[in-house]
Chains A and B, each alone.
Chain A
Amino acid sequence: MYEYNQFDRDFVENRNKQFRAQVERRLDGSLTEDEFKPLRLMNGLYLQLHAYMLRVAIPYGTLNSRKMRQLAYLADKWDKGYGHFTTRQNIQYNWPKLKDVPDMLDALGEVEMHAIQTSGNCIRNVTADHFAGAAADEIEDPRPTAELLRQWSTDHPEFQFLPRKFKIAITGAPNDRAVVKAHDIGIQMNRNEAGEPGYRIIVGGGLGRTPMIGKTVREFLPKEDLLPYLEAILQVYNLNGRRDNKYKARIKILVHETGVEEITSMIEEVFEKQKSLHQAPPAEMIEAIEAQFLPPEFDTRPIDEDKLSKIIAADPLLRSFVETNTDLHREDTHTIVTISLKPIGGTPGDATGDQMRVMANLAEAYGYDELRISHEQNVILPHVRRDDLPEIFKVLKDAGLATANVGLLSDIIACPGMDYCALATARSIPVAQELSNAFEDLKRQKDIGPLKIKISGCINACGHHHVGHIGILGLDKAGVESYQITLGGDGTETAAIGERTGPGFSYEEIVPAIGRIIDRYLELREDGSETFLEAYRRVGADPFKDALYSSEAENA
């Protein structure tokens, strides 16, 4: 876990002081809302449908118990007792009062957190694989690089007024859990033939109204070249990205309109210059960052496997939890636990203050004091001994946090939609809730198997519907909600944009429509091991379109 040095502390404190003065000037009327807007956005404060919303960065999704407890404190003291974890490893508070926000930022500063650059046309909070440092398939922990990028991008003088927001994601594993191909820049740690560590650089991915899969511009970039190379990409984008149309301003459009080859040579040309001049951060500093992410000293005493399997076998709920919510850890005595924030019928990503404290306590007692937030809006205990699972499960169950649905149908990603978001064209959370209720039987979900449903409440695609196996996009058709379905999307290393099935469905029709897709899948899959995505790739969209539209015609 990265710990702030004196400079980091001073920086955040100074920033909070500046913002406190700006809020005072807003409250006493010396700043108009128009003038205040860019200033508050720089500090993560949005004006939403009903109230202000504060978006707090959880850099690369990493937390400890102290930070989590402070997030709970903020939820209890200044919000309505809960917070909402987002698809970008942030937490949002939906009900703060403007006058309280400076105090909230100070409280965050106390635990080395902030809301800087969680909005605005700048480099946003850098996201990373939520299993970083724990996963069995990892080549290298991406978090030291992510922390370096946090520092590099914070208040970067050249890149605060880009054509549009800019998102960077990094993964250190071949199995991409960070959706790097759907980011403005995706970084994959890799090795060259000589075995030296470096990065593959992917540019121009993104969702929104024009979804694109990122293109590789560098197969292998030596580690020390990362910052000058990123500066080159950003400089090319800042100078050439479109500024005439908000919807064409992301780098994906520049890459698309310019062509990968041309953009690559533009980047390389600038990079040559940057490289010769770049004033890299001091090497000791990078080493100091790396030292803060060393793995904990794992308790590797052997596990009494007999005893553990008996306990698990005796409790079907526990067994189901272990099967569904744990992943392979690099230490075989350990496992990774994903705590689902998707209770059946609940709001995806919401956690109460009490639940946050429960998770903090568990991290402290059993998890080497580490927690992660995933872009799938769940919370992770990255390192726990397998023989602690029964106890952890018990505590989670008592707190309503033991839903065994990770990766299944009801592990839905949904953006805030009409319930909170000023840009929404449709409800998104209630669709997730109704779907989850309609398929509440976890056994049935398990039979259906791995399935990612993602829902966005408008074309901006914050719910990542394009990369959902089943994507749902809520639109407004002449004042009525209409939900468009896409199929076959994939956010992993085999990334793909989902394909639209056809006309949309009304709010009342959408859940039954998804039901028909599932039924058709169950009919046509080869056997229980063929996942929805595999089946879709084998048979194509037609059988599903048929299920969606012809039965509808029959009913009509």
Chain B
Amino acid sequence: MMSILVRDNGFAEDRWEAEGGLFIDLEKFGQDVAEKVSENTCVDIPNDVHIDSLKGLFENAAMIRIPFPSFADGRGFSLAKQLRQHGYEGTLRAVGHVIADQYGFARSCGFDEVEIDNDLAARQPEDQWLARLPQDDLSYQNKWLVEREGRNF
């Protein structure tokens, strides 16, 4: 099934694989990937993995993909936050059942983009996602961030 990518500038087609990117499961990573260049590698990690077993990815995965089996399963938010807290600088993608109302939360936790299927994209069209851009989200967390950085809200 085709996937749709949601980013701050709206919907886009997912061209990762078309452009030579690979999706590799965390288990396989390490065995298969040693010689592959890291900018082609997206590692799929489960959402119940301990951060310590992800340290090896930091230099070697251009992208990490975290699954959302259901929008009510918020583990991905904390996992993304942890990856950022521990210094991962590559792309973070949420994949699965994320709803438009969660887009700002996902971005605030460190995700760059969200991958959803066509059905969900049809049910929750682009405008519903763009209504929840992180910079428009009136949240206390964002406000504190902004105030610390001395910008005006």
Which residues of A line the B interface, CB within 8 A?
7, 10-11, 14, 38-39, 121, 151-152, 154-162, 235, 238-239, 243, 273-274, 277, 279-282, 285
Identify which of A121, A154, A162 contacts B140 (C-beta below 8 A). Answer: A154
- Once the chains bind, are B148 and A157 in contact (CB under 8 Å)? no
Interchain pairs with CB closer than 8 A, number: 84
A-B pairs with lowest CB-CB distance, top 6: A161-B74, A157-B108, A157-B105, A238-B78, A155-B139, A151-B140
Q: Chain A nearest CB: distance from B120 CB in Å?
A: 12
B residues 108-147 with Cβ under 8 Å of A? Answer: 108-109, 137-141, 143-145, 147
CA distance A162 to B79 in the complex (A): 13
- Once the chains bind, are A160 and B105 in contact (CB under 8 Å)? yes
12 more CB-based (< 8 A) A-B contacts, given A155-B139, A157-B139: A11-B138, A121-B72, A152-B141, A154-B139, A156-B141, A157-B109, A158-B74, A158-B77, A161-B74, A277-B85, A280-B144, A282-B148
CA distance A285 to B79 in the complex (A): 29
Can you name 10 A-B pairs with beta carbons within 8 Å? A154-B139, A155-B140, A155-B141, A161-B71, A161-B72, A161-B74, A162-B74, A235-B78, A239-B79, A285-B147
B residues 47-91 with Cβ under 8 Å of A? Answer: 48, 71-75, 77-79, 81-82, 85-86
Q: What residue in chain B is nearest A11 (Cβ atoms)?
A: B138
- Once the chains bind, are B143 and A161 in contact (CB under 8 Å)? no
A160 contact set on B, CB distance < 8 A: 74, 77, 102, 105
A273 contact set on B, CB distance < 8 A: 82, 85-86
Per the CB 8 Å criterion, the residue count for chain B at the interface is 31
CA distance A208 to B105 in the complex (A): 30
B105 contact set on A, CB distance < 8 A: 157-158, 160
- Once the chains bind, are B72 and A7 in contact (CB under 8 Å)? no
B144 contact set on A, CB distance < 8 A: 279-282, 285
A7 contact set on B, CB distance < 8 A: 138, 143, 153
- Once the chains bind, are B109 and A10 in contact (CB under 8 Å)? no
Q: What residue in chain B is nearest A231 (Cβ atoms)?
A: B81
- Once the chains bind, are A239 and B153 in contact (CB under 8 Å)? no
Residue picked from B71, B85, B86, B104, most chain A C-beta under 10 Å? B85
A280 contact set on B, CB distance < 8 A: 144
CA distance A279 to B142 in the complex (A): 10
B106 contact set on A, CB distance < 8 A: 157
- Once the chains bind, are B73 and A161 in contact (CB under 8 Å)? yes
Q: Does B101 contact A (CB under 8 A)?
A: yes
Q: Chain A nearest CB: distance from B127 CB in Å?
A: 12
Q: What residue in chain B is nearest A240 (Cβ atoms)?
A: B48
